[in-house]
Structure 1
Amino acid sequence: MKQTLLFSFLFLLSTISYAHLGTLTGRVIDESTHLPLRNVTVQLVGLGKATLTDDLGRYRFDHLVASPYKVEFSSVGYASFVQDVVIADDQTVYIQTSLTVAPVTLNTVTVSAQKAHDQQLISSLDIRLRPITNSQEILRLVPGLFIGQHAGGGKAEQIFLRGFDLDHGTDIRLSVDGMPVNMVSHAHGQGYADLHFVIPELVEAVDFKKGTYTTDKGNLATAGWVDFRTRTALDRSFVKLEAGQFDTYRAVAGIDLLGEKGKAKNQSAYMASEYSYSNSYFDNPQHFKRVNVMGKYHRHIGNNTNLTLTGSTFWSKWNHSGQIPDRAVDSGLIGWFGSIDPTEGGETSRTNLNAQFVTVTARNHIIKNQLYYANYNFELYSNFTFFLNDSLNGDQIRQKEGRNLFGYNGSYSTQTSLGKTSWITTVGAQYRQDVTPGLGGRPTELSHTKNRVETLERIQYGNINELNAALYADEVVQLSSRFSVNAGLRVDFFRSQYEDLLANPATKKYVTQAIVSPKLNLYYTFNPRVQLYLNTGKGFHSNDARVVTAQNGREILPGAYGSDLGIIVKPFPKLLINAAAWYLWMQQEFVYVGDEGVVEPSGRSRRQGIDVSVRYQLTRNLFADVDLNTAKPRALDAERGQNYLPLAPVFTSTGGLSLQTQYGLSGSLRYRYIANRPANDDNSIVANGYFVTDMQANYARKQYTVGLSVQNLLNTRWKETQFATESRLQNESTPVDEIHFTPGTPFFARLSLTYFW
């Protein structure tokens, strides 16, 4: 009874204390597009109170004493703006603010105490200073992430991050506008992620986080996750033409369909398309062709709901030279850009439909709903071992599939405050299903072929049906103006089914498993210049349906446990540093090797390292950046000296200078470096590192931009991807285990002309 009276008294006291205080709410939009701006820093000048705008451009300050206030708005790439507001007792004041585009300055970057878990300081700077000009640059915007292409530009890039050889996406979750890119139980390997359906000029922002710490990111988000957001509207229509060495041509166009009339009605629509062709620098012409078409429509449905509809289709076809062995080049059998099997190549396509609804209720709650569908086709011919297994016909393989992918993402968020404490509660549900048979789908196939024409033997042939359903709850608690806590809990359920069509009669097996993933993240912001954080969480990486059904459901969802201890600091107004020491431990997992159709147990592993990112504004127009990333990856179940993780990077660095002037001249000079690393588990074979520089220069006027881009400015001879592979050439009696590589781009210059209207 006494406890009840005490609680009632304290509640009454807090109610009286805040009974006559006011509230400030508002919305921030882009002046040219009239679209909401997210992650704008909103500060009450002189009070040390700051917050970030949400996806709808909204913000809110509660419990304000009746008084005049100065509200400052700042965001990278926009002019800062200060607005005067008067708050009265028991009054809620609403204002709408428009920000105009302005040159980038680090002065506008503020370390936020509120919503610290969602900050994207580095990425918002980088994309403004280093606009994406080709598909390879899309992923390179993530600090410490390296990519390698070993199939002539048509195949998804190989990815390296935080001591991982991620293959094509095994431990990094990639999405575009919330729609998954990774393909689970893919013909070429788990998590295969092909981003080539994205038109680079349409990428507006790149959100990312390294580690296992985000509640609404589930499968594959162990090394981290990346979400690419495409433009909701075009500032202007444009046509861009490119031409370069090696018979390289590209045309891109984006057309604003509604113009000013659409903006007046709070809606926008555009269509964009891309065509690319190149023979590339290999001795055997690539005949690489790619076609992209995308359309997007956005409007307000009533006063409280936004609707965004996106549709796109993509097709690509190419030849490639594959990986070549060191000995073939050293002996003069082939040149540096030659090939052993010139008939390698592939064809792929993807069609996407994406519908997103965001609703704000009368009580200021946010409801998000997303429905998506993709039809995907893939066919790849490769030859990694040449004549090791078949001395007469060679070892060429075909990996092929046609799948349908559909799913749903939904969440419900509320924001509550009591005194100086506020919290945002989000509950969500997710559903995804991948099906290879039916609706035009084709079974997942691995076959032994010859000359890309003749099928010699089917090694695997069957249907995948994989379901992933998840529920999650996430809480962000602002305990004070400096200290915030993010806690989350996620539950995933998997049903993995494989129908083996080679068995007689065909056999169908399925297994199920669930996994619980807790998260806990702490942020302490000393002031708008210094923030400490501790991220902890459990994640997971699902395994291929063909593997887990063969293993009778054992180790479907091996867990990953990670932590980051980091600091974000602005010692000077024009210097930003983000540094973190990190750790990641992974359970036993069975990895499906799609190139051979076998299962390889990888055992437990441990990775630890340090990430440092520095952004510095040297002058009004010149910016410098550098990323330094170390890692110590080890297998835990192997003997010392035999416990290296093949191809895992141990030290990488990227950086450069970026120029932006008021006279229309802009450009960048950049480098990327990766150190030597083990290519096998005892480090007896080494993958050589490289240091490569790129350059870009642009001159822009009101209606046109002329650009020059040069890859590998110093014409360095380097190996882009490397593998320790046992192979046998046609004239050899015994196999050889050594480095097989794809040569990196030589000096490669391209000119572009963009016209706006």
Structure 2
Amino acid sequence: MKKLFILSYFLLLSSFVISQNRSLKGKVIDQATQQPLEGAIVSVNEQFHTITNALGEFKLKNLPEKNIEVKVSHVGFKTITQKNITTQSLSILLESAPVQLDEVTIQPQSAHYQQIINNIDIKLRPINNSQEILRMVPGLFIGQHAGGGKAEQIFLRGFDLDHGTDIRLSVDGMPVNMVSHAHGQGYADLHFVIPELVEKVNFKKGPYYADKGNFTTAGWVDFKTKDVLDKNIIKIEAGQFNTYRTLGAFNLINTQANKGKESAYIASEYNYSDSYFDSPQHFKRLNVVSKYNSQLNTNNRLTLTASTFWSKWNHSGQIPDRAVDSGLISFYGAIDDTEGGETSRTNFNAELVSKTPNGNMLKNQVFYSNYNFTLFSNFTFFKEDPINGDQIKQHENRNLMGYNGSYSFGQTDFGHTTVGINYRQDFINNLELSRTKNRTEITDSLKLGKVNEQNIGFYLDHNFQFSSYFSMNIGLRYDIFNNTYNNSLQDSSQYTLKANASILSPKLNLYYTPNSSWQVYLNTGKGFHSNDTRVVVATQGKEILPAAYGSDLGVIFKPLPKLFVNVAAWYLWLNQEFVYVGDEAVVEPSGKTRRMGIDVSLRYQINQWLYADADLNLTKPRAIDVDQLQAFLPLAPTTTTTGGLSFQTSKGWNGSLRYRYMADRPANEDNSIVAKGYFVTDLQLNYTKTKYNIGLSIQNLANTKWKETQFATESQLKNEASPVNEIHFTAGTPFFGKLALTYMF
């Protein structure tokens, strides 16, 4: 009897295994563009889940033999359900549709990679200007303080990130941050991106991803541009302060006719503005972008992108409070109105995504940029040179090239593994810092040299799926830097310095997802930012890759079908680091720092056409191992919040009313000088039909007088006997209205 029971048990078990051995594969395609959809959630019988890859493909194993129901969803697309599937391969077309938050689900099998909030935001708040590109990241603030042509100053998670020192930015996988830049380490100028071409904004906060290397401490942002245009567009904008913009974007291949096998487009924009300052900026920017995609065959997809960008401007710089308070200049005035700059960048980017015969994924990407930069600034006026003034020139010519490669093994019983390599080489010529007068006359050469900087990184990333609700991600990254600096102010044969360094960065991330409505996660990891080559060689490569150790404990949940909430408590500790001050050509050491905080994000669909969102960020940034009265981190934000209402009606009306608030924050180490906070609102209103769109945008709807960027600076005016240390600021935008007319065909 016992033997009969055991035999029956194994027969029953084997029949169950046999009934669960079916597999299903398929491809998800955007119906409008005929392009593959990455990140679509595929569910079978609400029990088996996966997410589509870069080719829009998916595969599920160990499915029941019968009664298969497949559900496919993606934010901004109509969810589709197919029942009684009998085939082993599917091709699914998804149709664009208004965002429905009750259909947004949390995917347990791809918890580490899934992007939710950013997919919601970019569908509800299309990017209409270059400033909004970075503001898509919850809690990220930007400030422009040099006339619109200089890269924005960035604030996130208790960091004054300068222009990108502790945040990694990329566009289609190509790096934006510039190492050993003439103005500052990590300088990230995104103005070569045309806003209307941005399709996705992927981001994560913290140093928790193995494939993200240099500058990934506060977080990373990757902008994905469109592979094909929904429609051809011609756009004209005109606004206050003699502001104009034209845009043309045209498909060169009919993607519907060739069913998405090949696509190409070209786009160009031109901007001009005198801006709202007393001294006209004469700001000019030209962008040209061309992109080509080809489905070479079933298993290979090629993407080629070429772009060029040029900008030139004047600016009023930062002005001291005392000059405004005394009536010497207005709130929008200037002490030295000969400041300004010129910059350009030409890019070539090629990516080949291949599926191997055994179903694995191979990605190969090569990129090249030619970059030029010249900036004239005056921060201290007549403190250093009472006769000629303190204007400085920062200049460089750069060739940047690199490679990104990865190999992803298909899903197995042990999880999913990716190995990869990142390579980058920067050749920088004429890296210059000089004192000048009226831009034309060089009065003193402070620094002039050449930099050759190489970074190669290797990483391993593995996702364990222990059950349908618990997963773990582990990652390991190893980076090597080789730095060479040639001082052109001396005999180069006698003054060439070299140094190298390396760093190992482990990651560990845990996810508990009991159902599609909530998830608890713990992210931990080590990241770093490199330092300027001029610092590296001066210290012989010692302590020049300061480590950052971070952790996030968070929860994502949907307490109501149309309410999405993300709450995270986080901690970030930074090691000793050296900072190269590009404005003064000095090395300034800083000690250990600690930041901790809470991030809260809410997304709520009030009804079919009205949506609300809010982000609240509370941070306590402090220096460690110093007197607590001297432990404040200058300009580090402590309380910020953004949010607003967005609407999309079936009658063609759409738009948003948004706010952003940054509280007062210390401007120096003892908090004796305070950078004042601000509250600003913006309005966007559009009337959209099939062939045209009429839009009105208003920045600073309430016409608030506010300071966009602020610094505690010691400066001396022309007739002053001694320097004064106080707030120097750039005025924020007053009420600024702009009309736009777009023709689509």
TM-score (norm 1): 0.95
Match of 1:737 in 2: 725
Relative to structure 1, the CA distance from residue 85 to residue 597 in structure 2 (aligned partners, 3 Å threshold; closer, same or farther) is farther
Match of 2:673 in 1: 685
| Aligned partner letter, 1:539 | G
Equivalent residues in 2 for 1:111-126 (5 A)?
111-126=106-121
Equivalent residues in 2 for 1:339-354 (5 A)?
339-354=334-349
1:427 aligned residue (419, 423, 427): 419
Helix, strand or coil: the match of 1:641?
A: helix
State the alpha-carbon separation in 2 of the partners of residues 647 and 103 from structure 1: 40
For residues 88-128 of structure 1, the C-alpha deviation after alignment (integer angstroms, 9 at most, x for no partner) is: xxxx7110100001111112210110110111110001001
Give the C-alpha shift of residue 496 in structure 1.
1.1
| Aligned partner letter, 2:166 | D
Match of 1:4 in 2: none
Match of 2:17 in 1: 17
State the alpha-carbon separation in 2 of the partners of residues 198 and 15 from structure 1: 57
For residues 430-488 of structure 1, the C-alpha deviation after alignment (integer angstroms, 9 at most, x for no partner) is: 1000001xxxxx31000000001101111000001100001111001111100111001
Relative to structure 1, the CA distance from residue 14 to residue 462 in structure 2 (aligned partners, 3 Å threshold; closer, same or farther) is farther
> Is the 1:66–1:86 Cα contact (8 Å) retained in structure 2?
no
Give the C-alpha shift of residue 265 in structure 1.
6.0
Match of 1:33 in 2: 33
Match of 2:3 in 1: none
> Is the 1:611–1:629 Cα contact (8 Å) retained in structure 2?
yes
Match of 1:64 in 2: 63
Match of 2:73 in 1: 74
The alignment status of 1:444 with 2:439, answered yes or no, reads no
Aligned pair count reads: 733
Match of 1:138 in 2: 133
| Aligned partner letter, 2:326 | S
The alignment status of 1:501 with 2:500, answered yes or no, reads no
Equivalent residues in 2 for 1:36-435 (5 A)?
36-45=36-45, 47-87=46-86, 93-260=88-255, 263-264=258-259, 266-418=261-413, 422-435=414-427
- Consecutive unaligned residues of structure 2, counting only runs of 5 or more, are 1-9
Q: RMSD of the alignment, in Å? A: 1.4
Give the C-alpha shift of residue 86 in structure 1.
3.2
Helix, strand or coil: the match of 1:295?
A: strand
1:638 aligned residue (626, 629, 642): 626
Equivalent residues in 2 for 1:527-566 (5 A)?
527-566=515-554
Give the C-alpha shift of residue 718 in structure 1.
0.1
| Aligned partner letter, 1:491 | Y
Give the C-alpha shift of residue 85 in structure 1.
4.1
Relative to structure 1, the CA distance from residue 18 to residue 473 in structure 2 (aligned partners, 3 Å threshold; closer, same or farther) is farther
Give the C-alpha shift of residue 260 in structure 1.
4.1
| Aligned partner letter, 2:40 | V
For residues 478-532 of structure 1, the C-alpha deviation after alignment (integer angstroms, 9 at most, x for no partner) is: 1110011100100000001111111245511110111100000000001100100
| Aligned partner letter, 1:496 | N
State the alpha-carbon separation in 1 of the partners of residues 501 and 14 from structure 2: 47
> Is the 1:485–1:522 Cα contact (8 Å) retained in structure 2?
yes
| Aligned partner letter, 2:545 | L
Match of 2:511 in 1: 523
Helix, strand or coil: the match of 1:554?
A: coil
Relative to structure 1, the CA distance from residue 666 to residue 416 in structure 2 (aligned partners, 3 Å threshold; closer, same or farther) is closer
1:469 aligned residue (444, 450, 456): 456
Query: Which region of structure 1 is more displaced relative to structure 2, 251-260 or 179-188?
Result: 251-260
State the alpha-carbon separation in 2 of the partners of residues 738 and 673 from structure 1: 23
| Aligned partner letter, 1:429 | I
Relative to structure 1, the CA distance from residue 260 to residue 118 in structure 2 (aligned partners, 3 Å threshold; closer, same or farther) is closer
Helix, strand or coil: the match of 2:323?
A: helix
Percent of paired sites with the same residue: 61
Query: Which region of structure 1 is more displaced relative to structure 2, 17-26 or 455-464?
Result: 17-26
Helix, strand or coil: the match of 2:683?
A: strand
Helix, strand or coil: the match of 1:723?
A: strand
The alignment status of 1:483 with 2:459, answered yes or no, reads no
Helix, strand or coil: the match of 2:258?
A: helix
Equivalent residues in 2 for 1:581-620 (5 A)?
581-620=569-608
Give the C-alpha shift of residue 84 in structure 1.
2.0
Query: Which region of structure 1 is more displaced relative to structure 2, 637-646 or 135-144?
Result: 637-646
Relative to structure 1, the CA distance from residue 132 to residue 261 in structure 2 (aligned partners, 3 Å threshold; closer, same or farther) is closer
Helix, strand or coil: the match of 1:739?
A: strand
Give the C-alpha shift of residue 69 in structure 1.
1.3
State the alpha-carbon separation in 2 of the partners of residues 261 and 83 from structure 1: 24
Relative to structure 1, the CA distance from residue 262 to residue 173 in structure 2 (aligned partners, 3 Å threshold; closer, same or farther) is farther
Query: Which region of structure 1 is more displaced relative to structure 2, 503-512 or 369-378?
Result: 503-512
Relative to structure 1, the CA distance from residue 20 to residue 690 in structure 2 (aligned partners, 3 Å threshold; closer, same or farther) is closer
State the alpha-carbon separation in 1 of the partners of residues 491 and 257 from structure 2: 60
1:698 aligned residue (686, 701, 705): 686
> Is the 1:33–1:263 Cα contact (8 Å) retained in structure 2?
no
Query: Which region of structure 1 is more displaced relative to structure 2, 140-149 or 634-643?
Result: 634-643
Give the C-alpha shift of residue 50 in structure 1.
2.1
Helix, strand or coil: the match of 2:132?
A: helix
| Aligned partner letter, 2:47 | G
Relative to structure 1, the CA distance from residue 21 to residue 381 in structure 2 (aligned partners, 3 Å threshold; closer, same or farther) is same
Match of 1:670 in 2: 658
> Is the 1:262–1:268 Cα contact (8 Å) retained in structure 2?
no
Helix, strand or coil: the match of 2:179?
A: coil
Helix, strand or coil: the match of 2:405?
A: strand
For residues 273-325 of structure 1, the C-alpha deviation after alignment (integer angstroms, 9 at most, x for no partner) is: 00000000000000000000000000111211000000000000000000000
State the alpha-carbon separation in 1 of the partners of residues 330 and 20 from structure 2: 80
Helix, strand or coil: the match of 1:17?
A: helix
Give the C-alpha shift of residue 589 in structure 1.
0.5
Query: Which region of structure 1 is more displaced relative to structure 2, 17-26 or 703-712?
Result: 17-26
| Aligned partner letter, 1:477 | F
State the alpha-carbon separation in 2 of the partners of residues 451 and 86 from structure 1: 74
State the alpha-carbon separation in 2 of the partners of residues 577 and 55 from structure 1: 27
> Is the 2:67–2:84 Cα contact (8 Å) retained in structure 1?
yes
Relative to structure 1, the CA distance from residue 473 to residue 18 in structure 2 (aligned partners, 3 Å threshold; closer, same or farther) is farther
For residues 318-373 of structure 1, the C-alpha deviation after alignment (integer angstroms, 9 at most, x for no partner) is: 00000000000000000000000010000000000000000001110000000000
> Is the 1:219–1:542 Cα contact (8 Å) retained in structure 2?
yes
Match of 2:5 in 1: none
Helix, strand or coil: the match of 1:67?
A: coil
State the alpha-carbon separation in 2 of the partners of residues 75 and 572 from structure 1: 19
State the alpha-carbon separation in 2 of the partners of residues 606 and 716 from structure 1: 34
Give the C-alpha shift of residue 49 in structure 1.
2.5
